[in-house]
Amino acid sequence: MPGSSLSFGRTLVFAPHPDDEVLGAGGTIARLASEGEEVFVAVVTEGKPPAFDPAEVARTQAEAKEAHRALGVKETFWLRLPAAQLAEMAHVTVNAALLELVRRLAPQTVLLPFVGDMHMDHQLTFASALVACRPHQAEFPKLILAYETLSETNWNAPYLSPAFAPNVFVDISDYREAKLKAMQMFASQLREAPHERSIETLSALATLRGATVLRRAAEAFVLVRHVV
Q: Which helix (H) or strand (E) holds 147?
A: strand 143-147
Give the residue among 209, 147, 198 at the shortest CA–CA distance from 172: 209
Minimal distance, residue 96 CB to its own copies, in Å:
10
With a CB cutoff of 8 Å and minimum separation 6, the contacts of 168 are 145, 220, 221, 222, 223
Cα–Cα distance, 80 to 72 (Å, whole number): 22
Residues 133-162 that bind its own copies (CB under 8 A): 134-138, 140, 142-143, 146, 150-151, 154-162
Cβ nearer to its own copies, comparing 55 with 165: 165
Least distance from its own copies to the Cβ atom of residue 35, Å:
10
How many CA atoms does the CB half-sphere of 55 hold within 13 Å? Answer: 0
The one among 102, 130, 178, 185 contacting its own copies by CB under 8 A: 130
* 3-class SS of residue 190: coil
Q: What mask, x for binding its own copies by CB under 8 A, covers residues 10 to 39?
A: x-------------------------xxx-
Q: How far is the CB of 84 from its own copies (least distance, A)?
A: 5
CB 15, min distance to its own copies, A: 18
Interface with its own copies, residue 132, by CB under 8 A = no
- Report how many residues bind its own copies under the rule CB under 8 A: 86
Does residue number 227 form part of the binding site for its own copies (CB under 8 A)?
Answer: yes
CA distance 162 to 146: 12
